[in-house]
Structure 1
C-alpha cells in the first residue's frame, strides 16, 4: 500500500542537519525514547540510577533520539516529574556521554521561560552536541505552574508565538532588529552568540501549544503529538498533511506511554498505554509508517520490565525494520 503522505524531500538546510536528518526522513519511521530511560510505574519520579548507561545503550543500539521534558515542579495532580533534571542542562550533559543519537526537548515551556535565555541555551547545547539537537517547544499542560511564575495562563498561546518568533530571529539572524509584544526588543546593537552549528536549530511543536495546525505547518519544522488510540493515527496524519499544504513535507511524530509485553504476539491492549508484543507492534508501526508517521517516542514510565531489557529487545527485533539514518557530516560554524 502506498503512503498517503507526500514523499517530497526535506529542505536543504534540514537535510544536512545531523540531528534532524537522523530522526526525520520522508516515508521513513524512526524510534526514540522520552527520558528517563527507566521504568517507574508506581512512583512520580525515577531514581536516575544508571541513566548514563541507558542513554549510551540507546545510542549504541542505533535509536534515533532521546527526548527531554520540561517539568519544573512536582504537581501531585499529574503524578509525573519527567526526568527531574532541567532539560537544557541535561542535554549538555548527554552531549558528553553520547556519540550519535539526537537529543531533543519535548518540550521547552516557552511562556514560562525568557526566550532569549532559551535561545542562548539552545545554541550552546547545539554546539556541544555538534548539531545533534532538536528543540521541541510547548506551552505546557499544567495550569498550576503559571501562578508560580507570575504569568497569566490564558495568555500562553500568544506568548508562545511571540517567544517562538523571537528565538528564531535571535538564533538565525546576525545583529537582528525585532520587536515583541510580551518580551523585549532587539535593535541591531547586540548579537546572540554562539550561533547554531548549522544554518539554524530545527524547532518542532510539542502537542499543539494552543496553535492551529496551519500555523504550526507554516512556522515549525514538524510536530510531535500524543496518541492514545492507534486506530486514529491515519486520520491525524491526514489532517496534518492538509494543514501543511503548500509548505511541503513536515514530519509528524507522536509520543506514547509504552509497555512491551514479554509475549511477542500479545495483541494491542485497550487504554492510554501502548501495550503489546513486539511482533504485533512491528506490524502496527509498519502501517503507521505508510500512514505518514515519521517518529515514535516511547515513554517507559508504565513499563513492567527493566528498561535495559526492553531496549535490547527493541534493538534486536524492531529497529532492523526501522533503522535510524546516518547523520551527514556538516562543518561547524566558527565557535565564538
Structure 2
C-alpha cells in the first residue's frame, strides 16, 4: 500500500497548536476526563440521557478536561451496556455546538467497522467546526459477536485496523492520494478528500492496543489510553510506552469505571475494570499516577450509585483544584 504521512516535525507542530490536545496533555501533568454518558446507571443497560447537554456544559464549567464517547454499533442485552446511546460522531457535533473549550473525543471508534473515507471527512469536519477540540480515539473493538454482523473476520481485525488507519491518514493529510488496498478500493490519484484537519492532523489515540504492538502505535499515533494497569505496574507501563513512542511527547492515559463513594475519605481501592474510592482518595491516586508518568485519566461513572450531580460536585471540590484542565497555548 502506498503510504504518505506528515513529517515528525509537522506532527509535533500540529499537536502543539491543537486546542484539545493542549487542554489534556503535557509532560509531567495529569488531567481528568469523563467517559459518556454523564449519568450513573448501575443496574440497567441503557441510560436515560436526561439533561445530558446541561450536564455537559456543567462539566465544562467546573473544569473537566474532556468528554469521551464510546462506539457501540449494536446493543447486546447480554453485554448490557449501550454507552451514551447516540452515535459518537453525531453526538460530538451537537456537543461542540453547546460547549466552548472542552475537548471532545472518541474512546474509541471501532475502526475496522468504519469506512476510512467517511471517517476522514467526519473527523476533519468536527475538528474544523470545533476549533481544534476533536480527538480521534480509535480501537479494534472487543466484542467478537459484532464482527459477523458486519461480515468481517474477527481474527483479521488487527490487519484491517492498520489498513483502514493508513488510508484514513492519507485521506486526511495527503492531497488527492494514489492508493491501492485489499479491502477499501484503489485510486490512481487526483481525487481529493475534504475537508482536511485545521492544523494538518487531528491527534489520533489508540484506545487499548487495538491488536497492535506498542511500537507500531508509538510510531503511528499521537497517544495511548489503556485500561489502567495495577498501580505497581504503572511506571514500567509508562516506560515501555515512552521507549516505543520516541523523542516527541506522546501522552499515556488510563481509563476505568469509577465507583465514587459518598464518603469523601473512603480509601482508594482497585476493583474489576476500575476504581472504588472517595473523591479525596481519587485525587491521591491521580497524584501517584502522575508521578508514575500518566498524563490523563478517563473515568466512566456508570456504576456509581449516586446522582451524577453529586459526582460532579465531589470532583469539583476535591479533584479538579489539584488537576485542572491545562491552559490552551498560543
Tell whether 2:132 aligns with 1:128: no
Q: Matches of 1:160 and 1:24 in 2, distance apart? A: 25
Q: Matches of 1:44 and 1:234 in 2, distance apart? A: 35
TM-score of the two chains, using structure 2 as the length reference = 0.93
Change (3 A) 1:307 1:228: farther
- State the partner residue of 1:312: 313
Deviations 1:54-106 (A, max 9, x none): 10011111111000000011123321111111001001011111111000001
Q: Matches of 2:65 and 2:255 in 1, distance apart? A: 14
- State the partner residue of 1:269: 269
The answer (yes or no) to whether the contact 1:31–1:322 under 8 Å persists in 2 is yes
Alignment of structure 1 residues 1-336 onto 2, 5 Å: 11-227=12-228, 229-244=230-245, 246-272=246-272, 273-328=274-329
Q: Matches of 2:270 and 2:127 in 1, distance apart? A: 39
Q: Say which is worse superposed, 314-323 or 61-70, in terms of deviation.
A: 314-323
Count of matched residue pairs = 319
Q: CA deviation at 1:327?
A: 2.1
Q: CA deviation at 1:241?
A: 2.0
Q: Secondary structure at the match of 1:320?
A: coil
Q: Matches of 2:221 and 2:229 in 1, distance apart? A: 23
Gaps of at least 5 residues in structure 2 are: 1-10
Q: Matches of 1:139 and 1:283 in 2, distance apart? A: 32
Q: Matches of 1:26 and 1:12 in 2, distance apart? A: 16
The answer (yes or no) to whether the contact 2:109–2:139 under 8 Å persists in 1 is yes
The answer (yes or no) to whether the contact 2:108–2:139 under 8 Å persists in 1 is yes
Q: Matches of 1:83 and 1:27 in 2, distance apart? A: 31
Change (3 A) 1:122 1:188: same
The answer (yes or no) to whether the contact 1:228–1:271 under 8 Å persists in 2 is no
Gaps of at least 5 residues in structure 1 are: 1-9, 330-336
Q: Matches of 1:110 and 1:82 in 2, distance apart? A: 17
Q: CA deviation at 1:312?
A: 1.9
The answer (yes or no) to whether the contact 1:70–1:87 under 8 Å persists in 2 is yes
The answer (yes or no) to whether the contact 1:62–1:323 under 8 Å persists in 2 is yes
Deviations 1:184-203 (A, max 9, x none): 22322211111112121110
The answer (yes or no) to whether the contact 2:265–2:279 under 8 Å persists in 1 is yes
Q: Matches of 1:293 and 1:18 in 2, distance apart? A: 20
Q: CA deviation at 1:170?
A: 0.7
Computed over aligned residues only, the root mean square deviation of the Cα atoms, in angstroms, reads 1.4
Q: Matches of 2:318 and 2:247 in 1, distance apart? A: 36
